[in-house]
A and B are shown apart, each in its own frame.
Chain A
Amino acid sequence: MRSKVVSSFEEAVAGVEDGSRILVAGFGEPGTPHNLIAALHEQGASDLTIIANGAGMTRDDGVMTTGNLIEERRVSRVILAFTASTHPSRQTPLERLNEAGEIEAEITPQGTLAERIRAGGSGIPAFFTPAAVGTEVAEGKEHREFGGRTYVLEEAIVADYALVRCWKADTFGNLVFRRSQRNFNPIMAMAADCTLVEAEEVVEVGTLDPDLIHTPGIFVQRVVSIPEAGGMLQAPPLAMFSGTPRS
């Protein structure tokens, strides 16, 4: 059996073409594939479509975010649940380009985003949801009534690549996530043609309990061990999230 483990982040993102659609997992810091984002940054592909929960702020501690890719005009389109920062005082690069009309930004409710990705990874082309009915987000979309309630049609999302972060992977690409690191990772891993994984630990096949695997290796193409590739295991906590002392 061929191992899917590659020895560097550079090797993991090799071949990502201009114009690729890329799913980027993570919610807050947990489960965010910072090392793969940094490698994609180095790799140079442009005209990308980024599909993620939000498009991050740039950081001043050297940690790369999708905000850096956007700032460098490498991204022409985004699909996100947040196209602006929740803190108006901290403007993201996306907000600046969006205000200037220099990037295409589609906003979608977070549950709709998650379900569009799950549908994409499940062979379902579209589905109806009650979220956003009666708001400007549902304008122009097909509506239909089921059981007396109105729903809006939303289409599935599939992508060329998914950037995923996990706790443990085996050499076949079976993945286990820890706590809230899971978030978008398993559904994004299923919705891409090529799923790239950075793992906090890589173990031999047969080590992980099959009952406890979250993502089967058949969805995964390449795995990098963060410690063996010399990557960053944990991003330093942002000051704003480094614990919330009770007031």
Chain B
Amino acid sequence: MSDTGKPLTRDLMAARVAAEFQEEWVVNLGVGMPTRCSDFVPEDRTVILHSENGVIGYGRNATVEEATPYVVNGGAQPVLLTPLASIVHHADAFAIIRRGLLDVAVLGAYEAAVNGDFANWRISGRKGGGIGGAMDLAVGAKQVFLLLDHTTRDGRPRLLERCALPLTAAGVVTLVMTNLGLFEPAGEHFALREIAPGFTVDEVQRLTGAPVVAARGLSEVKV
């Protein structure tokens, strides 16, 4: 992959995304890698985590000892509640989403494109899929961040000129975190804002299915 670099760990990727959350943001974390972000919300910030099943104001993932059968996040994993927590039913959880109250939805994805399209619900050759709340979140949240591995297991790029898989939503992605860096879909290319330590821009470009342009002030990913 690289002569000198090691891809970022999932915890580092989650921590870097969580560092973007601002004071009093309402944030939805999708199934998979994104739910990990709840463990890395900066301690100096109050971030209101919202989940599709109607939990508003949950906190970090619960340990085996702390878990209860009553409180789970959008990935059905046990979580803790914060003191400001409240509970609504499923239709109201999505009313909050469509009403535009989410500052960001962090979602997993199979593919992301330079035009802000993304695909995360059906893989090719499969009849069924898993939309979950992604299509509602993608059009309801003020911003959509993606959290995904830079390539597939067999090394094909997931960051592309155009998505090949069926879209979840068109033109909504504002930030893409992969194990190689932090990117912004910029219309014709991905702007590389931060890069995994030890990687060069050329190495990242070789693993990307669209042009990568180093942003002004490009730095290493730091948390």
Contact = CB atoms under 8 A, between A and B. Distances in A.
A2 interface: no
B98 A243 contact: no
B98 A183 contact: no
Contacts of A177: 87
A243 B63 contact: yes
Interface in B85-140: 87-91, 93-94, 97-98, 122-123, 126-140
A186 B76 contact: no
Interface in A110-152: 110-112, 114-115, 117-118, 129-137
A179 B139 CA distance: 27
B203 interface: no
A85 interface: yes
B93 to A, nearest CB: 7
> Helix, strand, loop or mixed for chain A's interface?
loop
A185 B32 contact: no
A207 interface: no
A131 to B, nearest CB: 4
Contacts of A111: 52, 93-94, 97-98, 133, 135-137, 140
Contacts of A237: 67, 69
Nearest to A110: B133
Interface in B57-90: 60-72, 76-78, 81, 87-90
A30 interface: yes
Most chain B CB within 10 A, of A84, A86, A109, A235, is at: A109
A88 B110 CA distance: 13
Contact of A27 (B67, B87, B90): B90
A244 B70 contact: no
Interface residues of B, number: 57
A135 B169 contact: yes
A114 B137 CA distance: 13
B130 A246 contact: no
Contacts of A129: 98, 136
A88 B127 CA distance: 12
A144 to B, nearest CB: 15
Most chain B CB within 10 A, of A82, A110, A118, is at: A110
B44 to A, nearest CB: 20
Given A109-B134, A130-B140, A178 B70 contact: yes
Contacts of A136: 166-167
Given A179-B55, A243-B66, A185 B72 contact: no
A29 B75 CA distance: 11
Nearest to A179: B70
A172 interface: no
A107 B97 CA distance: 20
A95 to B, nearest CB: 5
A246 to B, nearest CB: 6
B94 A110 contact: yes
A98 B54 contact: no
B128 A241 contact: no
Contacts of B98: 111, 129-131
Interface string A55-77: 00000000000000000000000
Contacts of B223: none
Contacts of A81: 130-133
A185 B132 CA distance: 17
A211 interface: no
Contacts of B168: 135
17 contacts: A28-B53, A30-B71, A81-B133, A86-B32, A86-B130, A88-B126, A109-B133, A110-B132, A111-B97, A130-B140, A132-B131, A135-B135, A178-B70, A182-B87, A186-B89, A246-B63, A247-B11
The 6 closest A-B pairs by CB, nearest first: A28-B76, A111-B136, A111-B94, A243-B64, A84-B128, A83-B128
